[in-house]
Structure 1
Amino acid sequence: MCVEYTDLNRACPKDSYPLPSIDRLVDGASGHALLSFLDAYSGYNQIMMYPPNEVHTSFITDPANYCYRVMPFGLKNAGATYQRLMDKAFHQQIGRNLEVYVDVMVVKTTSATDHTNLAEVFAQIRRHNMRLNPEKCVFGVQGGKFLGFMITSRGIEANPEKCKAIIQMQSPQTVKEVQRLAGRLVSLSRFIPSLAEKVGPILTLLRKPKDFQWTDQCEEAFRNFKTFLTTPPILQRPDHKTDLLLYLAITENAISAVIVQEHQKVQMLVYFISRVLQDAEKRYQMIEKLALALVTAARRL
Protein backbone atom coordinates (compact mmCIF):
# COMPACT_ATOMS: atom_id res chain seq x y z
CA MET A 1 0.00 0.00 0.00
CA CYS A 2 1.46 3.36 -1.06
CA VAL A 3 0.30 6.32 1.04
CA GLU A 4 1.07 10.00 0.42
CA TYR A 5 2.34 11.48 3.70
CA THR A 6 3.33 14.96 2.47
CA ASP A 7 1.02 16.81 4.88
CA LEU A 8 1.94 14.55 7.81
CA ASN A 9 5.66 15.03 7.14
CA ARG A 10 5.18 18.79 6.95
CA ALA A 11 3.50 18.77 10.37
CA CYS A 12 6.12 16.57 12.05
CA PRO A 13 9.26 18.10 13.59
CA LYS A 14 12.52 16.97 12.02
CA ASP A 15 14.36 14.18 13.85
CA SER A 16 18.01 15.26 13.64
CA TYR A 17 19.47 11.94 14.80
CA PRO A 18 22.74 11.68 12.82
CA LEU A 19 23.43 8.96 10.29
CA PRO A 20 26.93 7.44 10.48
CA SER A 21 29.69 8.56 8.12
CA ILE A 22 29.70 6.42 4.97
CA ASP A 23 33.48 6.77 4.63
CA ARG A 24 33.99 5.54 8.20
CA LEU A 25 31.70 2.55 7.66
CA VAL A 26 33.39 1.60 4.39
CA ASP A 27 36.84 1.89 5.97
CA GLY A 28 35.72 -0.20 8.93
CA ALA A 29 34.19 -2.97 6.82
CA SER A 30 37.11 -3.45 4.42
CA GLY A 31 40.21 -5.57 4.87
CA HIS A 32 38.55 -8.56 6.56
CA ALA A 33 38.83 -12.24 5.67
CA LEU A 34 35.07 -12.83 5.36
CA LEU A 35 32.02 -10.61 5.13
CA SER A 36 28.32 -11.33 5.55
CA PHE A 37 25.78 -8.88 4.13
CA LEU A 38 22.42 -8.81 5.92
CA ASP A 39 19.16 -7.21 4.88
CA ALA A 40 16.09 -6.89 7.09
CA TYR A 41 12.77 -8.05 5.64
CA SER A 42 10.75 -4.82 5.22
CA GLY A 43 12.81 -3.37 8.03
CA TYR A 44 10.69 -0.28 8.63
CA ASN A 45 7.59 -2.45 9.06
CA GLN A 46 9.29 -4.33 11.92
CA ILE A 47 9.13 -1.23 14.13
CA MET A 48 5.86 -0.75 16.02
CA MET A 49 4.11 2.61 15.93
CA TYR A 50 3.49 4.50 19.17
CA PRO A 51 -0.22 3.58 19.70
CA PRO A 52 -1.58 7.15 20.11
CA ASN A 53 0.10 8.10 16.81
CA GLU A 54 -1.28 5.23 14.75
CA VAL A 55 -4.31 7.30 13.75
CA HIS A 56 -2.05 9.84 12.02
CA THR A 57 -1.05 7.20 9.45
CA SER A 58 -4.67 6.60 8.40
CA PHE A 59 -5.54 6.04 4.76
CA ILE A 60 -8.81 5.50 2.90
CA THR A 61 -9.75 2.46 0.82
CA ASP A 62 -13.05 1.45 -0.77
CA PRO A 63 -14.16 -0.99 1.95
CA ALA A 64 -12.86 0.91 5.01
CA ASN A 65 -10.35 3.28 6.57
CA TYR A 66 -7.13 1.82 7.96
CA CYS A 67 -4.05 2.93 9.86
CA TYR A 68 -0.62 1.44 10.36
CA ARG A 69 0.35 -0.40 13.53
CA VAL A 70 3.93 -0.57 12.28
CA MET A 71 6.13 2.21 10.93
CA PRO A 72 5.28 2.69 7.23
CA PHE A 73 7.57 3.75 4.43
CA GLY A 74 7.33 7.41 3.46
CA LEU A 75 7.64 9.10 6.86
CA LYS A 76 10.43 11.67 6.82
CA ASN A 77 11.83 10.52 10.17
CA ALA A 78 11.67 6.79 9.39
CA GLY A 79 15.37 6.57 8.49
CA ALA A 80 16.50 8.36 11.65
CA THR A 81 14.18 6.23 13.80
CA TYR A 82 15.50 3.02 12.24
CA GLN A 83 19.14 4.07 12.68
CA ARG A 84 18.56 5.00 16.33
CA LEU A 85 17.03 1.60 17.11
CA MET A 86 19.79 -0.25 15.25
CA ASP A 87 22.43 1.69 17.18
CA LYS A 88 20.68 0.79 20.42
CA ALA A 89 20.11 -2.88 19.56
CA PHE A 90 23.66 -3.52 18.31
CA HIS A 91 25.68 -1.01 20.35
CA GLN A 92 28.02 -3.75 21.59
CA GLN A 93 28.74 -5.02 18.07
CA ILE A 94 28.87 -1.85 15.95
CA GLY A 95 32.43 -0.93 15.07
CA ARG A 96 33.81 -4.20 16.44
CA ASN A 97 32.31 -6.91 14.23
CA LEU A 98 29.37 -5.11 12.60
CA GLU A 99 28.73 -1.98 10.54
CA VAL A 100 25.21 -0.62 10.11
CA TYR A 101 23.77 2.10 7.89
CA VAL A 102 19.98 2.26 8.43
CA ASP A 103 18.81 -1.13 7.09
CA VAL A 104 22.14 -2.16 5.52
CA MET A 105 24.28 -4.43 7.71
CA VAL A 106 27.63 -6.13 7.17
CA VAL A 107 29.22 -8.57 9.62
CA LYS A 108 33.01 -8.68 9.42
CA THR A 109 35.21 -11.62 10.40
CA THR A 110 38.99 -11.60 10.72
CA SER A 111 39.35 -15.38 10.26
CA ALA A 112 38.00 -17.44 7.38
CA THR A 113 37.39 -20.41 9.70
CA ASP A 114 35.84 -18.64 12.70
CA HIS A 115 32.18 -17.59 12.54
CA THR A 116 31.87 -16.45 16.16
CA ASN A 117 31.13 -12.87 15.11
CA LEU A 118 28.29 -13.95 12.82
CA ALA A 119 26.83 -16.14 15.57
CA GLU A 120 26.97 -13.20 17.99
CA VAL A 121 25.08 -10.93 15.60
CA PHE A 122 22.49 -13.66 14.92
CA ALA A 123 21.93 -14.01 18.66
CA GLN A 124 21.27 -10.28 18.93
CA ILE A 125 18.90 -10.43 15.95
CA ARG A 126 16.89 -13.19 17.64
CA ARG A 127 16.86 -11.27 20.91
CA HIS A 128 15.13 -8.35 19.21
CA ASN A 129 12.85 -10.54 17.04
CA MET A 130 14.23 -9.15 13.80
CA ARG A 131 13.52 -10.93 10.51
CA LEU A 132 15.99 -11.10 7.65
CA ASN A 133 15.29 -11.37 3.94
CA PRO A 134 17.18 -14.52 2.85
CA GLU A 135 17.00 -13.53 -0.82
CA LYS A 136 19.08 -10.41 -0.13
CA CYS A 137 21.50 -11.87 2.43
CA VAL A 138 24.95 -13.17 1.51
CA PHE A 139 27.13 -15.05 3.99
CA GLY A 140 30.85 -15.76 4.22
CA VAL A 141 32.12 -13.99 1.10
CA GLN A 142 35.45 -12.26 0.52
CA GLY A 143 33.93 -9.08 -0.85
CA GLY A 144 30.81 -7.31 -2.01
CA LYS A 145 29.06 -3.99 -2.59
CA PHE A 146 28.51 -1.81 0.45
CA LEU A 147 27.12 1.74 0.31
CA GLY A 148 28.24 2.22 -3.29
CA PHE A 149 31.75 0.79 -2.85
CA MET A 150 33.36 -2.60 -3.32
CA ILE A 151 34.88 -3.82 -0.05
CA THR A 152 37.18 -6.83 -0.07
CA SER A 153 39.94 -8.39 1.99
CA ARG A 154 42.39 -6.37 -0.14
CA GLY A 155 40.82 -3.02 0.73
CA ILE A 156 38.35 -0.58 -0.83
CA GLU A 157 37.73 -0.71 -4.57
CA ALA A 158 35.76 1.54 -6.88
CA ASN A 159 32.35 0.21 -7.84
CA PRO A 160 32.91 -1.30 -11.31
CA GLU A 161 29.38 -0.33 -12.37
CA LYS A 162 30.13 3.34 -11.66
CA CYS A 163 33.41 3.13 -13.57
CA LYS A 164 31.71 1.38 -16.48
CA ALA A 165 29.00 4.06 -16.64
CA ILE A 166 31.67 6.72 -17.25
CA ILE A 167 33.79 4.61 -19.60
CA GLN A 168 30.78 3.90 -21.83
CA MET A 169 29.58 7.53 -21.89
CA GLN A 170 29.72 9.49 -25.10
CA SER A 171 31.19 12.98 -25.02
CA PRO A 172 28.58 15.28 -23.40
CA GLN A 173 26.64 17.49 -25.78
CA THR A 174 24.46 19.36 -23.28
CA VAL A 175 24.78 20.93 -19.84
CA LYS A 176 22.64 18.17 -18.32
CA GLU A 177 25.01 15.53 -19.66
CA VAL A 178 27.96 17.44 -18.16
CA GLN A 179 26.13 17.57 -14.82
CA ARG A 180 25.56 13.82 -15.04
CA LEU A 181 29.26 13.25 -15.73
CA ALA A 182 30.32 15.53 -12.87
CA GLY A 183 28.03 13.68 -10.46
CA ARG A 184 29.48 10.31 -11.47
CA LEU A 185 33.03 11.59 -11.03
CA VAL A 186 32.26 13.01 -7.59
CA SER A 187 30.95 9.60 -6.47
CA LEU A 188 34.42 8.20 -7.28
CA SER A 189 36.37 11.18 -5.94
CA ARG A 190 38.23 9.28 -3.21
CA PHE A 191 39.85 7.11 -5.92
CA ILE A 192 40.92 9.90 -8.31
CA PRO A 193 44.02 12.01 -7.52
CA SER A 194 43.68 15.78 -8.06
CA LEU A 195 40.14 15.37 -9.38
CA ALA A 196 39.25 19.04 -8.92
CA GLU A 197 42.19 20.16 -11.07
CA LYS A 198 41.68 17.55 -13.78
CA VAL A 199 37.94 18.21 -14.09
CA GLY A 200 38.46 21.99 -14.31
CA PRO A 201 37.88 22.36 -18.09
CA ILE A 202 34.63 20.38 -17.80
CA LEU A 203 33.34 22.32 -14.78
CA THR A 204 33.90 25.57 -16.67
CA LEU A 205 30.96 24.59 -18.90
CA LEU A 206 28.64 24.64 -15.88
CA ARG A 207 29.57 28.21 -14.96
CA LYS A 208 28.46 29.53 -18.36
CA PRO A 209 25.72 27.13 -19.53
CA LYS A 210 24.51 29.49 -22.26
CA ASP A 211 27.94 29.41 -23.93
CA PHE A 212 28.22 25.61 -23.96
CA GLN A 213 31.09 24.38 -26.11
CA TRP A 214 32.81 21.02 -25.65
CA THR A 215 36.44 21.97 -26.30
CA ASP A 216 39.52 19.89 -27.05
CA GLN A 217 40.60 20.41 -23.43
CA CYS A 218 37.30 18.97 -22.22
CA GLU A 219 37.65 15.98 -24.54
CA GLU A 220 41.22 15.33 -23.38
CA ALA A 221 40.20 15.46 -19.71
CA PHE A 222 37.23 13.18 -20.42
CA ARG A 223 39.40 10.60 -22.19
CA ASN A 224 41.99 10.71 -19.40
CA PHE A 225 39.27 9.91 -16.85
CA LYS A 226 38.11 6.98 -18.97
CA THR A 227 41.63 5.61 -19.21
CA PHE A 228 42.26 6.03 -15.49
CA LEU A 229 39.02 4.32 -14.48
CA THR A 230 39.84 1.17 -16.45
CA THR A 231 42.25 0.31 -13.60
CA PRO A 232 41.37 2.46 -10.57
CA PRO A 233 43.59 2.11 -7.50
CA ILE A 234 42.74 -0.13 -4.55
CA LEU A 235 42.65 1.90 -1.34
CA GLN A 236 43.73 0.50 2.02
CA ARG A 237 41.71 0.76 5.20
CA PRO A 238 43.52 3.07 7.65
CA ASP A 239 45.40 1.27 10.42
CA HIS A 240 44.86 3.28 13.60
CA LYS A 241 48.08 1.88 15.08
CA THR A 242 50.16 3.43 12.29
CA ASP A 243 50.74 7.10 11.50
CA LEU A 244 48.92 8.65 8.57
CA LEU A 245 51.01 10.62 6.09
CA LEU A 246 49.43 13.59 4.32
CA TYR A 247 50.72 15.07 1.06
CA LEU A 248 49.34 18.41 -0.16
CA ALA A 249 49.28 19.83 -3.69
CA ILE A 250 48.39 23.41 -4.67
CA THR A 251 47.56 24.79 -8.11
CA GLU A 252 46.09 28.04 -9.31
CA ASN A 253 42.53 26.69 -9.36
CA ALA A 254 42.40 23.75 -6.94
CA ILE A 255 43.82 22.16 -3.82
CA SER A 256 44.46 18.44 -3.46
CA ALA A 257 45.69 15.99 -0.85
CA VAL A 258 46.41 12.30 -0.54
CA ILE A 259 46.51 10.26 2.66
CA VAL A 260 48.86 7.27 2.75
CA GLN A 261 50.26 4.82 5.28
CA GLU A 262 53.57 3.00 5.20
CA HIS A 263 53.50 -0.80 5.30
CA GLN A 264 56.82 -2.62 5.06
CA LYS A 265 58.42 0.55 3.64
CA VAL A 266 55.77 0.79 0.93
CA GLN A 267 53.33 3.71 0.95
CA MET A 268 49.76 2.47 0.57
CA LEU A 269 47.00 4.78 -0.70
CA VAL A 270 44.19 5.51 1.75
CA TYR A 271 42.23 8.50 0.44
CA PHE A 272 42.34 11.21 -2.26
CA ILE A 273 40.89 14.65 -1.47
CA SER A 274 40.49 17.68 -3.72
CA ARG A 275 38.27 20.65 -4.33
CA VAL A 276 38.03 23.66 -6.62
CA LEU A 277 39.07 27.03 -5.22
CA GLN A 278 36.48 29.79 -5.05
CA ASP A 279 37.29 33.13 -6.72
CA ALA A 280 38.34 34.75 -3.43
CA GLU A 281 40.44 31.72 -2.48
CA LYS A 282 42.37 31.90 -5.76
CA ARG A 283 43.83 35.21 -4.53
CA TYR A 284 45.24 33.60 -1.37
CA GLN A 285 48.97 33.53 -0.80
CA MET A 286 50.65 30.15 -1.27
CA ILE A 287 50.97 29.57 2.48
CA GLU A 288 47.26 30.36 2.90
CA LYS A 289 46.33 27.86 0.19
CA LEU A 290 48.45 25.23 1.93
CA ALA A 291 46.66 25.96 5.20
CA LEU A 292 43.30 25.71 3.42
CA ALA A 293 44.30 22.35 1.91
CA LEU A 294 45.35 21.12 5.36
CA VAL A 295 42.04 22.20 6.92
CA THR A 296 40.05 20.64 4.06
CA ALA A 297 41.90 17.33 4.44
CA ALA A 298 41.57 17.35 8.24
CA ARG A 299 37.81 17.76 7.98
CA ARG A 300 37.61 14.57 5.93
CA LEU A 301 39.54 12.49 8.46
Structure 2
Amino acid sequence: MKDQEKTTFTYPYEMFAYRCMPFGLCNAPATFQRCMMAIFHDMIEKTMEVFMDDFSIFRNSFQSCPSYLERMLKRCEDTNLFLKWEKSHFMVKKAIVLGHKISKEVIEVDKAKVDVITKLPHLTTVKGIRSFLSHAGFYQRFIKYFSKIAKPMTRLLEKDTPFIFSKECVEAFQTLKKKLTEAPILIAPDWDMPFELIKTMTKAESNYTTTKKEMLAVVYAFEIFRSYLIMNRSIVYTDHFALKYLFAKKDSKARLLHWVLLLQEFTFKVIDTNGVENLAADHLS
Protein backbone atom coordinates (compact mmCIF):
# COMPACT_ATOMS: atom_id res chain seq x y z
CA MET A 1 0.00 0.00 0.00
CA LYS A 2 3.04 2.30 0.28
CA ASP A 3 2.83 3.08 -3.46
CA GLN A 4 -0.91 3.71 -3.47
CA GLU A 5 -0.49 7.47 -3.88
CA LYS A 6 1.35 6.87 -7.17
CA THR A 7 -1.93 5.72 -8.72
CA THR A 8 -3.65 9.00 -7.87
CA PHE A 9 -5.56 10.73 -10.65
CA THR A 10 -7.53 13.96 -10.65
CA TYR A 11 -11.16 14.61 -11.40
CA PRO A 12 -12.86 18.02 -11.28
CA TYR A 13 -12.70 19.21 -7.66
CA GLU A 14 -11.44 15.82 -6.33
CA MET A 15 -8.54 13.37 -6.35
CA PHE A 16 -8.82 9.58 -6.33
CA ALA A 17 -6.36 6.71 -5.74
CA TYR A 18 -6.81 3.02 -6.49
CA ARG A 19 -7.36 0.68 -3.56
CA CYS A 20 -6.12 -2.29 -5.57
CA MET A 21 -3.64 -2.74 -8.40
CA PRO A 22 -5.15 -1.44 -11.67
CA PHE A 23 -4.47 -2.51 -15.24
CA GLY A 24 -1.87 -0.58 -17.19
CA LEU A 25 0.94 -0.16 -14.68
CA CYS A 26 4.23 -1.20 -16.30
CA ASN A 27 5.43 -3.18 -13.27
CA ALA A 28 2.04 -4.65 -12.36
CA PRO A 29 2.54 -8.09 -14.02
CA ALA A 30 5.95 -8.68 -12.42
CA THR A 31 4.72 -7.48 -9.02
CA PHE A 32 1.66 -9.73 -9.20
CA GLN A 33 3.75 -12.75 -10.23
CA ARG A 34 6.19 -12.17 -7.36
CA CYS A 35 3.24 -12.00 -4.99
CA MET A 36 1.85 -15.33 -6.26
CA MET A 37 5.24 -17.02 -6.01
CA ALA A 38 5.71 -15.75 -2.47
CA ILE A 39 2.32 -17.14 -1.44
CA PHE A 40 2.77 -20.58 -3.07
CA HIS A 41 6.59 -20.84 -2.91
CA ASP A 42 6.58 -24.26 -1.21
CA MET A 43 4.15 -25.78 -3.74
CA ILE A 44 5.40 -24.44 -7.09
CA GLU A 45 6.92 -27.12 -9.36
CA LYS A 46 6.03 -29.77 -6.77
CA THR A 47 2.24 -29.88 -6.79
CA MET A 48 1.22 -26.79 -8.75
CA GLU A 49 2.26 -24.18 -11.32
CA VAL A 50 1.34 -20.50 -11.20
CA PHE A 51 1.38 -17.98 -14.03
CA MET A 52 -0.24 -14.72 -12.99
CA ASP A 53 -3.78 -15.71 -12.04
CA ASP A 54 -3.71 -19.15 -13.70
CA PHE A 55 -3.26 -21.97 -11.17
CA SER A 56 -2.73 -25.60 -12.18
CA ILE A 57 -2.71 -28.38 -9.59
CA PHE A 58 -1.21 -31.65 -10.82
CA ARG A 59 -0.43 -35.11 -9.47
CA ASN A 60 0.21 -38.54 -10.94
CA SER A 61 -2.92 -40.07 -9.47
CA PHE A 62 -6.49 -39.04 -8.71
CA GLN A 63 -6.19 -40.22 -5.10
CA SER A 64 -3.46 -37.72 -4.22
CA CYS A 65 -5.02 -34.75 -6.01
CA PRO A 66 -7.79 -33.75 -3.54
CA SER A 67 -5.40 -33.23 -0.62
CA TYR A 68 -3.14 -30.90 -2.64
CA LEU A 69 -6.14 -29.08 -4.04
CA GLU A 70 -7.46 -28.56 -0.51
CA ARG A 71 -4.05 -27.26 0.56
CA MET A 72 -4.00 -24.73 -2.29
CA LEU A 73 -7.55 -23.54 -1.54
CA LYS A 74 -6.70 -23.19 2.15
CA ARG A 75 -3.68 -21.05 1.22
CA CYS A 76 -5.95 -18.85 -0.92
CA GLU A 77 -8.35 -18.49 1.99
CA ASP A 78 -5.55 -17.58 4.41
CA THR A 79 -4.19 -14.89 2.07
CA ASN A 80 -7.59 -13.47 1.03
CA LEU A 81 -7.34 -14.61 -2.60
CA PHE A 82 -10.69 -14.95 -4.38
CA LEU A 83 -11.19 -17.45 -7.22
CA LYS A 84 -13.98 -17.23 -9.80
CA TRP A 85 -16.08 -20.37 -9.64
CA GLU A 86 -17.14 -20.16 -13.30
CA LYS A 87 -13.49 -20.12 -14.42
CA SER A 88 -12.47 -23.05 -12.24
CA HIS A 89 -12.23 -26.67 -13.42
CA PHE A 90 -11.73 -29.57 -11.05
CA MET A 91 -10.54 -33.15 -11.58
CA VAL A 92 -10.15 -32.95 -15.36
CA LYS A 93 -7.94 -35.06 -17.63
CA LYS A 94 -7.64 -32.28 -20.22
CA ALA A 95 -7.56 -28.52 -19.76
CA ILE A 96 -6.81 -25.29 -21.60
CA VAL A 97 -3.67 -23.83 -20.00
CA LEU A 98 -2.09 -20.64 -21.38
CA GLY A 99 -3.53 -21.14 -24.85
CA HIS A 100 -2.69 -24.85 -25.06
CA LYS A 101 -4.84 -27.93 -24.60
CA ILE A 102 -2.89 -30.05 -22.12
CA SER A 103 -3.40 -33.71 -21.25
CA LYS A 104 -1.23 -36.42 -19.72
CA GLU A 105 0.07 -37.61 -23.08
CA VAL A 106 0.01 -34.65 -25.49
CA ILE A 107 -0.09 -30.88 -26.02
CA GLU A 108 -2.42 -29.39 -28.65
CA VAL A 109 -3.24 -25.90 -29.85
CA ASP A 110 -6.35 -24.20 -28.50
CA LYS A 111 -8.75 -24.37 -31.45
CA ALA A 112 -10.62 -21.25 -30.31
CA LYS A 113 -7.41 -19.19 -30.50
CA VAL A 114 -6.45 -20.66 -33.87
CA ASP A 115 -9.88 -19.96 -35.40
CA VAL A 116 -9.46 -16.25 -34.68
CA ILE A 117 -6.08 -16.22 -36.47
CA THR A 118 -7.25 -18.19 -39.51
CA LYS A 119 -10.17 -15.82 -40.14
CA LEU A 120 -7.92 -12.78 -40.51
CA PRO A 121 -8.13 -10.98 -43.89
CA HIS A 122 -5.06 -10.04 -45.96
CA LEU A 123 -2.73 -7.73 -44.08
CA THR A 124 -2.36 -4.15 -45.25
CA THR A 125 -0.05 -2.56 -42.66
CA VAL A 126 3.23 -3.26 -40.88
CA LYS A 127 1.33 -3.19 -37.59
CA GLY A 128 -0.98 -5.91 -38.92
CA ILE A 129 1.96 -8.11 -39.94
CA ARG A 130 3.64 -7.64 -36.57
CA SER A 131 0.40 -8.55 -34.79
CA PHE A 132 -0.19 -11.64 -36.97
CA LEU A 133 3.36 -12.94 -36.58
CA SER A 134 3.13 -12.37 -32.85
CA HIS A 135 -0.08 -14.39 -32.55
CA ALA A 136 0.97 -17.12 -34.98
CA GLY A 137 4.45 -17.21 -33.45
CA PHE A 138 2.91 -18.21 -30.13
CA TYR A 139 2.30 -21.63 -31.74
CA GLN A 140 5.48 -21.74 -33.82
CA ARG A 141 6.75 -24.89 -32.15
CA PHE A 142 3.79 -26.69 -33.73
CA ILE A 143 4.83 -25.55 -37.22
CA LYS A 144 7.97 -26.96 -38.80
CA TYR A 145 10.11 -24.33 -40.57
CA PHE A 146 7.96 -21.52 -39.15
CA SER A 147 10.69 -18.89 -39.47
CA LYS A 148 11.52 -19.97 -43.03
CA ILE A 149 7.85 -19.78 -44.10
CA ALA A 150 7.37 -16.39 -42.44
CA LYS A 151 10.55 -14.87 -43.89
CA PRO A 152 8.86 -12.91 -46.75
CA MET A 153 6.65 -11.23 -44.14
CA THR A 154 9.39 -10.61 -41.58
CA ARG A 155 11.37 -8.73 -44.23
CA LEU A 156 8.60 -6.11 -44.27
CA LEU A 157 9.29 -5.38 -40.60
CA GLU A 158 12.80 -4.15 -41.37
CA LYS A 159 13.45 -0.43 -41.11
CA ASP A 160 13.03 1.66 -44.29
CA THR A 161 11.57 -1.31 -46.21
CA PRO A 162 8.69 -0.31 -48.52
CA PHE A 163 5.44 -2.12 -47.70
CA ILE A 164 4.63 -4.36 -50.65
CA PHE A 165 2.50 -7.37 -49.73
CA SER A 166 3.81 -9.45 -52.62
CA LYS A 167 2.71 -12.83 -53.92
CA GLU A 168 5.37 -14.42 -51.69
CA CYS A 169 3.86 -12.70 -48.65
CA VAL A 170 0.35 -13.86 -49.58
CA GLU A 171 1.58 -17.44 -49.94
CA ALA A 172 3.41 -17.25 -46.60
CA PHE A 173 0.32 -15.77 -44.93
CA GLN A 174 -1.99 -18.49 -46.28
CA THR A 175 0.50 -21.28 -45.55
CA LEU A 176 0.85 -20.27 -41.91
CA LYS A 177 -2.92 -20.06 -41.47
CA LYS A 178 -3.33 -23.50 -43.06
CA LYS A 179 -0.60 -25.07 -40.95
CA LEU A 180 -2.15 -23.64 -37.79
CA THR A 181 -5.40 -25.49 -38.51
CA GLU A 182 -3.44 -28.65 -39.27
CA ALA A 183 -1.05 -28.21 -36.35
CA PRO A 184 0.29 -31.58 -35.16
CA ILE A 185 -0.03 -32.84 -31.62
CA LEU A 186 3.11 -32.50 -29.51
CA ILE A 187 4.28 -35.46 -27.48
CA ALA A 188 7.25 -36.08 -25.20
CA PRO A 189 10.51 -36.02 -27.21
CA ASP A 190 12.17 -39.19 -28.43
CA TRP A 191 15.74 -38.80 -27.19
CA ASP A 192 17.01 -41.38 -29.71
CA MET A 193 16.04 -39.11 -32.61
CA PRO A 194 18.04 -36.07 -33.83
CA PHE A 195 16.78 -32.55 -33.07
CA GLU A 196 16.71 -29.81 -35.68
CA LEU A 197 16.96 -26.09 -34.90
CA ILE A 198 16.09 -23.30 -37.32
CA LYS A 199 16.73 -19.61 -36.71
CA THR A 200 15.89 -16.53 -38.76
CA MET A 201 18.89 -14.23 -38.71
CA THR A 202 18.45 -10.49 -38.46
CA LYS A 203 19.87 -8.21 -41.14
CA ALA A 204 22.90 -7.54 -38.95
CA GLU A 205 23.43 -11.26 -38.26
CA SER A 206 23.27 -12.00 -41.99
CA ASN A 207 26.34 -9.77 -42.42
CA TYR A 208 28.38 -11.66 -39.82
CA THR A 209 31.59 -13.35 -40.87
CA THR A 210 31.50 -17.13 -41.27
CA THR A 211 33.15 -17.59 -37.88
CA LYS A 212 30.58 -15.38 -36.16
CA LYS A 213 27.72 -17.26 -37.83
CA GLU A 214 29.16 -20.59 -36.69
CA MET A 215 29.51 -19.21 -33.17
CA LEU A 216 25.97 -17.82 -33.26
CA ALA A 217 24.64 -21.29 -34.13
CA VAL A 218 26.42 -22.82 -31.12
CA VAL A 219 25.21 -20.11 -28.73
CA TYR A 220 21.63 -20.37 -30.03
CA ALA A 221 21.60 -24.17 -29.63
CA PHE A 222 22.85 -23.96 -26.04
CA GLU A 223 20.27 -21.27 -25.22
CA ILE A 224 17.38 -23.33 -26.62
CA PHE A 225 18.45 -26.61 -24.97
CA ARG A 226 19.82 -24.98 -21.82
CA SER A 227 17.64 -26.94 -19.39
CA TYR A 228 18.90 -30.23 -20.85
CA LEU A 229 22.57 -29.30 -21.22
CA ILE A 230 23.31 -27.17 -18.16
CA MET A 231 24.20 -30.08 -15.84
CA ASN A 232 25.53 -32.46 -18.49
CA ARG A 233 28.60 -32.86 -20.65
CA SER A 234 28.16 -32.00 -24.32
CA ILE A 235 30.11 -32.31 -27.57
CA VAL A 236 30.00 -29.70 -30.33
CA TYR A 237 30.82 -31.13 -33.76
CA THR A 238 31.82 -28.52 -36.32
CA ASP A 239 33.58 -28.39 -39.68
CA HIS A 240 34.73 -24.82 -38.95
CA PHE A 241 38.29 -25.39 -37.72
CA ALA A 242 38.73 -21.93 -36.14
CA LEU A 243 35.79 -22.44 -33.78
CA LYS A 244 37.69 -25.02 -31.74
CA TYR A 245 40.30 -22.48 -30.64
CA LEU A 246 37.98 -19.51 -30.32
CA PHE A 247 36.54 -20.69 -27.00
CA ALA A 248 40.00 -20.67 -25.40
CA LYS A 249 40.98 -17.28 -26.81
CA LYS A 250 41.02 -14.51 -24.21
CA ASP A 251 41.48 -11.50 -26.51
CA SER A 252 38.49 -12.01 -28.80
CA LYS A 253 36.42 -9.11 -30.04
CA ALA A 254 33.67 -7.87 -27.72
CA ARG A 255 30.82 -9.79 -29.39
CA LEU A 256 32.69 -13.09 -29.51
CA LEU A 257 34.02 -12.63 -25.98
CA HIS A 258 30.45 -12.03 -24.76
CA TRP A 259 29.36 -15.32 -26.32
CA VAL A 260 32.35 -17.17 -24.88
CA LEU A 261 31.40 -15.92 -21.41
CA LEU A 262 27.78 -17.03 -21.91
CA LEU A 263 28.93 -20.55 -22.76
CA GLN A 264 31.21 -20.87 -19.74
CA GLU A 265 28.35 -22.19 -17.60
CA PHE A 266 28.20 -25.28 -19.84
CA THR A 267 30.60 -28.23 -19.87
CA PHE A 268 31.44 -29.18 -23.44
CA LYS A 269 34.25 -29.84 -25.87
CA VAL A 270 34.56 -28.96 -29.54
CA ILE A 271 35.48 -31.62 -32.10
CA ASP A 272 36.19 -30.55 -35.66
CA THR A 273 34.96 -32.83 -38.45
CA ASN A 274 35.32 -32.85 -42.21
CA GLY A 275 32.42 -31.37 -44.16
CA VAL A 276 31.71 -34.71 -45.87
CA GLU A 277 31.34 -36.34 -42.43
CA ASN A 278 29.03 -33.62 -41.10
CA LEU A 279 26.11 -34.77 -43.25
CA ALA A 280 23.23 -33.38 -41.16
CA ALA A 281 24.56 -29.82 -40.97
CA ASP A 282 25.82 -29.96 -44.56
CA HIS A 283 22.35 -30.90 -45.76
CA LEU A 284 20.67 -28.11 -43.76
CA SER A 285 23.04 -25.48 -45.15
> Where on the TM-score scale, by shorter chain, does this alignment land: which range?
0.5 to 0.7
| Equivalent of 1:83 in 33, 48, 52 | 33
Tell me the residue number matched to 2:140: 189
Corresponding letter in the other structure for 2:122: S
Corresponding letter in the other structure for 1:186: G
Larger fraction in helix? 2
Q: Equivalent pairs: percent with the same residue?
A: 27
What is the Cα-based RMSD across aligned positions, in Å?
3.3
Q: Does 1:276 align with 2:225?
A: no
CA distance in 1, matches of 2:143, 2:85: 36
Three-state SS of the structure 2 residue aligned to 1:87 is helix
Q: CA deviation at 1:210?
A: 6.2
| Equivalent of 1:112 in 62, 65, 71 | 62
Tell me the residue number matched to 1:295: 219
Corresponding letter in the other structure for 1:247: F
Q: Does 1:247 align with 2:195?
A: yes
The Cα offsets for residues 241-277 of structure 1, whole Å up to 9 and x where unpaired, read as: x95966345xxxxxx1xxxxxxxxxxxxxxxxx3334
CA distance in 2, matches of 1:213, 1:60: 46
* TM-score, with length taken from structure 2: 0.64
Q: CA deviation at 1:299?
A: 1.8
Q: Which structure is richer in relative contact order (CA contacts within 8 A, separation 6 or more)?
A: 1
Corresponding letter in the other structure for 1:123: K
From the superposition, tell whether residues 160 and 282 of structure 1 become closer, same or farther in structure 2 (CA, over 3 Å): farther
Q: CA deviation at 1:57?
A: 5.0
Tell me the residue number matched to 1:100: 50
From the superposition, tell whether residues 92 and 216 of structure 1 become closer, same or farther in structure 2 (CA, over 3 Å): same
Three-state SS of the structure 1 residue aligned to 2:200 is strand
Q: CA deviation at 1:133?
A: 1.8
Tell me the residue number matched to 2:97: 146
| Equivalent of 1:72 in 12, 16, 21 | 21
Three-state SS of the structure 1 residue aligned to 2:164 is coil
Residues 196 and 276 of structure 1 are in contact (CA less than 8 Å); yes or no, is this contact kept in structure 2? no
* TM-score, with length taken from structure 1: 0.61
Number of corresponding residues? 223
Which structure's CA Rg is the greater one?
A: 2
1:27-176 → structure 2 map (5 Å cutoff): 49-50=1-2, 57=7, 70-74=19-23, 75-114=25-64, 115-176=66-127
Q: CA deviation at 1:200?
A: 1.3
5+ unaligned residues in a row in structure 2: which ranges?
227-285
Three-state SS of the structure 2 residue aligned to 1:205 is helix
Three-state SS of the structure 2 residue aligned to 1:123 is helix
5+ unaligned residues in a row in structure 1: which ranges?
1-48, 250-255, 257-273
The Cα offsets for residues 110-135 of structure 1, whole Å up to 9 and x where unpaired, read as: 22344232122123223333322212
Three-state SS of the structure 1 residue aligned to 2:30 is helix
Corresponding letter in the other structure for 2:41: H
Q: CA deviation at 1:237?
A: 5.2
Q: CA deviation at 1:136?
A: 2.0
Residues 162 and 184 of structure 1 are in contact (CA less than 8 Å); yes or no, is this contact kept in structure 2? no
| Equivalent of 2:150 in 199, 204, 216 | 199
From the superposition, tell whether residues 57 and 207 of structure 1 become closer, same or farther in structure 2 (CA, over 3 Å): closer
Three-state SS of the structure 2 residue aligned to 1:156 is strand
